[in-house]
Structure 1
């Protein structure tokens, strides 16, 4: 076989770039998630993600086209995972307090595990909601998130709740959980440099759960209790 024939045989056909082993789309997304734990969205590079995955950057361009599309898919995957992990509990017959606390804990956990999650959501979903792909993604995420909130409130309810707008509760929970992680310097200022952040998170989730369920007004001592109401009806 001539040298020319050998080169022709080894030449790669146009399409998916060669890679070491089997490295597909999901492995590249996983590498991007890991890279975002040490790099900001602005400083992340395709070369850095490729090095972490052990592939050539061309393989990332083959699957995602460019960095912007890669980051958008990362956000989509992170949101999908977080919502899916909460679905079983939200649709269960667990007490409302347990559902609410679990949802808050899960939302904070996603941000703790992915420090740039909030920035990515703002830039790649909310910030691009007016274009075709961004609008579709925002609609999908909002619909699935709202479904979880409605399920939490109404699927096999364990206690009566007053009429509320679940859309406003959904927005409130996002705001209440997103700031907790970025507020770490404030937490240390308020609770001391040696404050245990995990312990504070547990306290915060319990506090917000109670706040949403009961508000901040103290019970009116003059208001009749359930027993008193029953007695009055029997009179």
Structure 2
């Protein structure tokens, strides 16, 4: 008499690697977009695979399928932010105008990005700037060299046109612009102390105008 094959219980059947059933049409972009939206109100250390999956409306297993670990997801998110701000700065780099107008446009572009993504800097610092792996070092070097080169070109052209003092070090200006734009976004509690709720509307625009005036005036040739 032929014995029937023993069928293991369902729980004992090895799972096939791959996307969770029913999730085949959902891409990694959806997960990254959800993580980016969460980062507007949450710090990087408050993000989890679970709350990202919930925001994206997907099974948490899909997050693991695409990214493996939360750390890898956050690294890829940081890379996406870098591409975004790089694209914005590239888009304004060839717009004609005076040195003052170009500096003002750069300030407004940086400030707008930081306001949209207030937790971008902590993420960038943790996953790219303080990371020791070779890829992170390459990304931060290439990103800053390219971004700085655009600003240096503006300064050198301004010096040539006698719109900028010859003793201006574009490297210091690069750091100043990043700092003054980043602090506005990350120091919201300070803004709330200094400005009433009735003054909050349009505050970023007024801050951008203020920065433009003091920075551009500081760059002008003496006398």
Q: Is the 8 A contact 2:159 2:165 kept in 1?
A: no
Matched pairs, number: 209
Q: Is it true that 1:122 corresponds to 2:116 in the alignment?
A: no
> How far did 1:159 drift?
4.2
| Segment of structure 1 superposing worse, 96-105 or 14-23 | 14-23
Pairing of 1:38-187 with structure 2 (within 5 A): 38-128=41-131, 130-154=132-156, 159-160=161-162, 161-163=164-166, 164-187=168-191
> How far did 1:108 drift?
1.6
> How far did 1:154 drift?
4.9
Q: Matches of 2:15 and 2:193 in 1, distance apart?
A: 59
Structure 1: 5+ residue runs without aligned partners?
224-235
Q: Is the 8 A contact 1:111 1:181 kept in 2?
A: yes
Q: Is the 8 A contact 2:103 2:216 kept in 1?
A: no
> How far did 1:99 drift?
1.9
Q: Matches of 1:216 and 1:84 in 2, distance apart?
A: 26
TM-score of the aligned structures, taking structure 2 as reference length: 0.79
What does the per-residue CA deviation read over 1:101-142, in whole Å, with 9 as the maximum and x for residues that have no partner? Answer: 2211221222221221121122112221x3222212211221
Q: Is the 8 A contact 1:50 1:57 kept in 2?
A: yes
Q: Matches of 1:133 and 1:28 in 2, distance apart?
A: 22
> What does residue 227 of structure 1 align with?
none
TM-score of the aligned structures, taking structure 1 as reference length: 0.75
Higher relative contact order (CA 8 A, sep 6+): 2
> What does residue 198 of structure 2 align with?
194
Q: Is the 8 A contact 1:124 1:134 kept in 2?
A: yes
Equivalent residue for 1:208, pick from 211, 214, 219: 211
- The alignment's C-alpha RMSD in Å is 2.9
Q: Is the 8 A contact 1:92 1:156 kept in 2?
A: no
Q: Matches of 1:152 and 1:63 in 2, distance apart?
A: 41
Structure 2: 5+ residue runs without aligned partners?
1-6
Q: Matches of 1:50 and 1:195 in 2, distance apart?
A: 37
